[in-house]
């Protein structure tokens, strides 16, 4: 996902763009018209993905450099990811340019509408059109109903949205498709024309809808996918210049689906797997980097041996882990995964002589939401001037960690992000400078410890001998 914007760009753009924007914003919503909008909402897992294609036209008298996206307040709170690409060229030769997107406040926003501004790469002149491809991801947006289910029941959920795309612009024509995991739909709102074919609902086409048109829609459907949410994940990545990268990951995992009610019968669970506990999860899959070694997996009680590592030494290693009990709605599991990696796969030297770690952000568990992620990169002792480069905004701070044999402690670069989804599993870097002389610190400490011990022995013997005399 090269398409994400860098924090530095956002800051500079915000400074430049806000004053200009306030100046032109009054005019811009009359200036832009959406000729065609197609929205595809994918509800097949518990992470909602929305693909929006907008064909926009500048119908105003001056050129336009920005397009506004509008979100109802309920969605903004759950927005984990948003990116916009400009598509150019015809079908087969289409190329995409990633565009800067930033949150924007508008003084007269109706119904607490929230906005994001897409900054066009080239201003759109009067009469010109552009095609934008937008992807946004929502978490915690499927609401289990019934709220509680027993072991033998399927999980049903609600999804709420608007059949008409919320926009500050006039939309000439629009269609929305909603994909659900199976063809088991309890009910769905009709806003004619509305169609259903198998596991897809179609809303529209709707013609000529004025700005801020809204028409609530509710879909009630079966979704037995694992609602796997890590409420808190702390990943520690420790660099040792002796050739190893040691990773320790602490998980607080929850099943965020419909709460389990009644008793849990392991006999039913094992004898009727297709009817019993269909929305629960028994296995978890973690995608780890290639060449992983010394993998362990333990919970509060101790090491768990039911984990299988499938290592394909070139691309990826897959770790399948099995908690002590299957996870039902509302249940939690706390566990730790640890592993080692060869340092040369992740530590490099940049052209200015600094060293840098190039590692993957996010969470190794597949199709999982992380409510709060903390990554702690523990640098070798004696490292100076650390700086992190992450392709999206994160909170950053420094800590110091002491372990035995440390003289001055190790600098820890702490990165924190809320609402993390699988698209955030992309490389980030931590740069630092290091004087190789510090490599000797540990052996020196060891040597001096031995030397002191030796001297103490000599002194003791000496005293001992002199007493005996
Ligand atoms: C658990 O596994 C790790 C790694 O294999 C090992 O170092 C540790 O001693 C084990 N602990 C127990 C209690 O068996
Ligand atoms: C980091 O690693 C990825 C592949 O894992 C690579 O594509 C990328 O160029 C690397 N970034 C830097 C700055 O070395």
pLDDT tens string 308-319: 788 766 677 888
Element (H, E) at 152: none
C-alpha of residue 305 to centroid of ligand 1, in Å: 10
Q: What is the pLDDT of residue 465?
A: 57
Q: Ligand 1: list residues with CB < 6 Å.
A: 296, 298, 302-303
Interstrand relation of 170-179 and 32-42 (parallel, antiparallel or unpaired): parallel
Read off φ and ψ for residue 329, nearest 5 degrees.
-50, 130
> Measured from the CA of 429, which atom of ligand 2 is nearest?
13
Fold of 7-222: Immunoglobulin-like (2.60.40)
- The residue contributing the CA closest to ligand 1 atom 2 is 296
Query: What six digits make up the tokens of 9?
Result: 């760009």
pLDDT tens string 261-285: 877 777 777 776 666 677 788 888 9
User: Do 7-222 and 228-434 agree at the fold level?
Assistant: yes
Query: What six digits make up the tokens of 16?
Result: 């430049």
- The residue contributing the CA closest to ligand 1 atom 5 is 296
Q: Considering only CA atoms, which of 297, 420, 298 is closest in space to residue 363?
A: 420
Give the ligand at the shortest distance from the Cα of 430.
2
Q: How many CA atoms lie within 13 A of 81 on its CB side?
A: 24
Give the ligand at the shortest distance from the Cα of 357.
2
CB distance 370 to 423 below 8 Å: no
Instruction: Give me the residue spans of the domains in the chain.
Output: 7-222, 228-434, 437-469
Least confident of 89-103, 260-274, 376-390: 260-274
91: helix, coil or strand? helix
The alpha carbon of 296 is separated from its chain's Cα centroid by a whole number of angstroms, namely 24
- For residues 98 and 86, give the distance between their C-alpha atoms in angstroms, rounded to a whole number: 6
**β partners of residue 236:** 248, 376
Give the ligand at the shortest distance from the Cα of 347.
2
**Hey, which of 358, 362, 389, 390 would you mutate to test ligand 2's pocket, going by the most ligand atoms within 8 Å of its Cβ?**
358
C-alpha of residue 303 to centroid of ligand 1, in Å: 6
C-alpha of residue 290 to centroid of ligand 2, in Å: 15
pLDDT tens string 189-224: 999 999 999 999 999 999 999 999 999 999 999 999
Strand order in the sheet with 355-360: 347-349, 355-360, 427-433, 384-389
325: helix, coil or strand? coil
pLDDT tens string 99-133: 999 999 988 888 889 999 999 999 999 999 999 99
How buried is 429 (Cβ within 10 angstroms: 0-12 exposed, 13-18 middle, 19+ buried)? middle
Give the ligand at the shortest distance from the Cα of 431.
2
CA dist list (Å): 131 to 86, 167, 249, 358, 396: 6, 16, 42, 34, 36
Residue 427 Cβ < 6 Å to ligand 2: yes
Q: What is the pLDDT of residue 237?
A: 97
Least confident of 106-120, 234-248, 320-334: 320-334
Q: Considering only CA atoms, which of 322, 421, 429, 330 is closest in space to residue 379?
A: 429
372 band by pLDDT with thresholds 50, 70 and 90: very high
Residue 290 Cβ < 6 Å to ligand 2: no
**β partners of residue 311:** 317
C-alpha of residue 358 to centroid of ligand 2, in Å: 6
Q: How many CA atoms lie within 13 A of 52 on its CB side?
A: 21
C-alpha of residue 298 to centroid of ligand 1, in Å: 8
Q: Which CATH architecture has domain 228-434?
A: Sandwich (2.60)
- For residues 276 and 254, give the distance between their C-alpha atoms in angstroms, rounded to a whole number: 19
DSSP code, position 456: H
């Amino acid at each position: 996902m090269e398409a994400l914007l860098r924090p530095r760009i956002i800051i500079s753009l915000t400074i430049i763009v806000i004053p200009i924007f306030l100046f032109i914003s009054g005019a811009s919503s009359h200036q832009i018209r959406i000729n065609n909008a197609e929205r595809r909402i994918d509800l097949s897992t518990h992470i909602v993905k929305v693909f929006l294609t907008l064909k926009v036209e500048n119908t105003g008298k001056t050129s336009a450099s920005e397009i506004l996206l509008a979100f109802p307040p309920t969605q903004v709170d759950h927005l984990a990811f948003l990116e916009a690409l400009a598509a150019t060229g015809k079908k087969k030769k289409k190329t995409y340019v990633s565009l800067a997107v930033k949150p924007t406040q508008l003084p007269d926003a109706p119904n607490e509408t929230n906005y994001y501004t897409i900054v066009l790469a080239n201003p759109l002149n009067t009469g010109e059109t552009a095609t934008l491809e937008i992807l946004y991801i929502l978490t915690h947006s499927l609401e289990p109903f019934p709220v509680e289910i027993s072991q033998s029941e399927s999980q049903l959920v609600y999804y709420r949205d608007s059949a008409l795309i919320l926009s500050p612009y006039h939309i000439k024509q629009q269609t929305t498709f909603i994909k659900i995991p199976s063809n088991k739909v309890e009910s769905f709102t009709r806003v004619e024309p509305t169609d259903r074919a198998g596991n897809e609902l179609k809303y529209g086409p709707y013609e000529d809808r004025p700005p801020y048109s809204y028409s609530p829609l509710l879909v009630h459907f079966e979704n037995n996918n694992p609602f796997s949410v890590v409420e808190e994940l702390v990943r520690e990545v420790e660099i040792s210049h002796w050739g190893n990268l040691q990773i320790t990951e602490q998980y607080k995992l929850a099943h965020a689906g419909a709460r389990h009610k009644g008793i849990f019968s392991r006999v039913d669970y094992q004898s009727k797997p297709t009817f019993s506990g269909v929305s629960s999860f028994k296995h978890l899959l973690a995608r780890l980097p290639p060449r992983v070694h010394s993998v362990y997996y333990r919970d509060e009680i101790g090491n768990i041996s039911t984990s299988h590592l499938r290592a394909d030494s070139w691309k990826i290693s897959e770790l399948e882990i099995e908690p002590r009990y299957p996870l039902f709605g509302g249940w939690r599991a706390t566990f730790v995964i640890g592993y080692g990696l060869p340092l040369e796969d992740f530590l490099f030297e940049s052209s200015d002589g600094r060293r840098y770690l190039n590692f993957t952000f996010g969470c190794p568990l597949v199709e999982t939401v992380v409510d709060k992620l903390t990554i702690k990169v523990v640098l070798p002792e004696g490292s100076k001037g650390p700086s992190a480069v992450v392709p999206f905004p994160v909170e950053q701070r420094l800590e110091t960690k002491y372990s035995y044999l440390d003289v001055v402690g190790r600098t820890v670069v702490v990165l924190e992000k809320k609402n993390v989804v699988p698209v955030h599993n992309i490389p980030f870097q931590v740069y630092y400078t290091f004087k190789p002389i510090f490599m000797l610190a540990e052996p020196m400490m060891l040597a001096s410890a031995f030397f002191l011990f030796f001297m103490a022995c000599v002194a003791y013997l000496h005293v001992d001998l002199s007493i005996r005399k």
